[in-house]
Amino acid sequence: MHSTWQRLSNTFALATSVVLALVAAISATTFLLPAKLDPASLAVSHLNVVLGRPQYERYAKEREYAFVKFDLQADLSPLFHWNTKQLFVYLVADYHSDPYPANSVVVWDRIVRSPRHAKLNVQDGKQKYEFKEITNSFRNTSATFSLHYQVQPYVGALTGGEVVRTEPVAFPPVRTRSQ
């Protein structure tokens, strides 16, 4: 009886070692296949700044909110291979303000689960998330918008990168309710 358990234990140890070696090989070969992405285009078609109050704060002061519309075309299908589970794609606004020199805000995102959905063609896309200035104003500030991706593999480490970046776009003056 003792030798049966020992054989079973040895078999299980061998199977575990083989599976771990296979998983390590899959993870390592992921980095050997660099993806060549075709040039993408990103344009901010509309940027507007308005005054408003957040609904979740009872006695909040008015602050500036930016509203973004954009056009995006990108083919991310080369990022898919045997170890790609899905892609997380997101649009980031980077801008500078006086007390905070580096600000990054995610304004839009999408999860791409297959290569046939990896060709992004977004016309008049609207932001999904709140874009507010932590200081008093967006005045005399500009932002660059960039499309980023994260490859989420079945096995191994996350990898990511930037697809395309716009030139700086100046924030317009605040619109009042009468305009």
Tens-place pLDDT, residues 118-148: 999 999 999 999 898 888 788 888 999 999 9
pLDDT at position 115 is 93
Residue 47 in any domain: the answer is yes
Note down the domain range covering 165: 35-170
The segments of the chain whose pLDDT lies below 50 read 178
Same domain membership, residue 96 and residue 20: no
pLDDT reported for residue 60? 74
Which residues neighbour 102 within 8 Å (Cβ) at sequence distance 6 or greater? 94, 96
**124 domain-assigned:** yes
pTM score of the predicted model = 0.82
Show the beta-strand stretches assigned E in the chain: 41-52, 63-75, 84-95, 103-112, 119-126, 142-153, 159-165, 169-170
With CA atoms as reference, report the closest residue to 106 among 74, 143, 73, 78: 143
Q: For residues 26 and 3, state if they share a domain.
A: yes
pLDDT of residue 132: 87
pLDDT of residue 118: 94
Shared domain for 27 and 42, answered yes or no, is no
